[in-house]
Amino acid sequence: MNKKVLLLNPPGRNVYVRDYYCSKTSKSNYLFQPIDLLMLTGRLALRFEVDFIDAIADRIDEDKCFNLIDALSPEVIISLIGAVSSKEDLPFLERLKKEKRCIVVSGDVTLENTKEWLIDHPFIDAVIMDFTSEDVIYYLEGEDEVITNMVYRTKEGIKDARCLRSENEEFVLPIPKHELFNSKNYRFPFVRHKNFSTVLTDYGCPFKCSFCVMSTLGYRYRKVENVIEELKLLKKLGKKEIFFLDQTFGINKKRTIELCHRIKEERFYFGWVCYSRVDIISDELIKEMKEAGCHTIIFGVESSSEEILRKYQKGYNKTQIEKTFGLCKKYNIRTVATFILGLPEETHETAMETIEFLKKIECDFASFNIAVPRMNTPFRREAIERGFIASDLEVLDQGGSFIAMSTNHLTIAQVEELKKRAIKEFYLRPSYLWKRLKAISSFYEFKEQVYEGLVLLRCL
């Protein structure tokens, strides 16, 4: 009989997004399918009996979750874990370990000093460092000699089996088992239909933004036909919308255009959302994306300060930002601009300039994040060296439910006040509210926009 493996998004007191080596409190109750676990399902299902529990999506408390797990009797649990929720996650996993199960984890809190982290948490057996690789299969089948990106316990001690991250390498993976991820509570404010799925067409990111963990993961991309096979499954499952979770959709222009052509040829008729960068979007590329169903692009603008953009190696300037937002407007593609407030160089003046700039580029939505010294990033190392945070600081929340550090010029309270001001000045403009109402195209979208608005107001 095949070994039973349970994939677990563990319970929590808040709506936590533990995903892709990032974790945060959901700012407006959004929650999409956890990509770490989703990407593992195709390979695992070829060798093992696989179950999945999303205790966050289905609002399952600790005792009920423990009972559900007990009833399934898995021999192996592969669990997400997050810096934002580690004080809850770790005691729960320790409780699960008492049943003599193998506990494997994936998450941001494990990325730094992983071997020492495992020593400190003896109830964890292994850490997955690349959820797109076959390493977890090798680990579960005892083929240690071919593992390249895991840290795990052996009889001799803890083995740190990590190699240099691959760059620009093509890969294929068995089609993920989307049918396991069927909670009705997944929601994302930028999709236009509740029946959506999350898809990853590449892994990591080649850009070097110093505050972002993605720059530490290397960069690999899936064959176009491999992605198309996954989209065929989603069409059969009746999905209407896709959230492409690539950190920068469109990096390889030729490959992206090929993917868009194949999406059109297959007549999927999906609507879709993606992340991208202002310096890779061109007229030709955005036209192809629009024709393939793209209706919303999320861009990391971060700041209007040229100094801050240079300091954190964003690689583009304000002129490029304005040009790309203009292109999106030309092709009637909605834009989401994400901003980071509270980087060490932030002043009251740079924050106010950023707020005015986001009005100028006429983005459809804005997301205001707080600077977070994320594990294993150059920014975290600098924050420790400059005394902004203690070296052992683990509990972090990119969503901004609490703020980890001040700036050279602003206190934590001032950063919090600037975030509230940014939300007010952008979202409470009568002209903006009228624009949003006119753009709504369905009752589902209307409900989501109203809900998001009410949540934003509660943050003020």
Q: Please check whether residue 169 lies inside any domain of the structure.
A: no
The Cα–Cα gap between 92 and 103 comes to: 11
Across 28-32, 80-84, 345-349, 452-456, least confident range:
452-456
Do 42 and 137 lie in one domain? The reply is yes
Say how far residue 428 (Cα) sits from the centre of its chain. Answer: 27
Let me know whether 200 and 256 are in one domain: yes
pLDDT digits (tens, 9 = 90+) for 24-69: 998 777 899 999 999 999 999 999 999 999 999 999 999 999 999 9
In a domain, 182, yes or no: no
Is position 54 within any domain?
yes
Q: Are residues 155 and 216 in the same domain?
A: no
For 344-377, how does the pLDDT look when each residue is reduced to its tens digit (9 = 90+)?
899 999 999 998 998 899 999 998 888 888 888 9
Is 337 in the same domain as 408? yes
- Lowest mean per-residue pLDDT among 248-262, 365-379, 428-442: 428-442
Quote the domain boundaries for residue 81.
4-164
Residue 36 domain-assigned (yes or no) = yes
Total domains present in the chain: 2
376 with 278, same domain? yes
Any domain includes 254 = yes
Last residue of a domain, one of 164, 196, 224: 164
**Which residue type sits at 252?**
N
**Could you say which of 110, 131, 164 is where a domain stops?**
164
Q: Are residues 384 and 299 in the same domain?
A: yes
State pLDDT tens for residues 110-145: 998 999 999 999 999 999 999 999 999 999 999 988
Q: Is the pLDDT of residue 277 over 90?
A: yes
The reply to whether 174 falls in a domain is: no
Domain final position from 164, 180, 208: 164
- pLDDT in the model for residue 164: 60
Same domain, 35 and 132: yes
CATH of residue 115's domain is 3.40.50.280
**Is 177 among the domain residues?**
no
For residue 459, is pLDDT > 90? no
Q: Do 194 and 122 belong together in one domain?
A: no
Indicate which CATH number applies to the domain containing 344: 3.80.30.20
Residue 212 makes CB contacts below 8 A (sequence gap 6+) with: 205, 374, 377
- Domain identity same for 12 and 119: yes
Tokens of 371: 């600077």
The residue with greater pLDDT, 343 or 1, is 343
Is 172 among the domain residues? Answer: no
Residue 101 and residue 199 share a domain: no
pTM here is 0.93
Lowest mean pLDDT among 12-21, 257-266, 429-438: 429-438
Relative to beta strand 102-106, strand 22-25 is unpaired
Per-residue pLDDT at 418 exceeds 80: yes
- Residue 138 shares a structural domain with residue 234: no
Residues 243 and 379 in one domain: yes
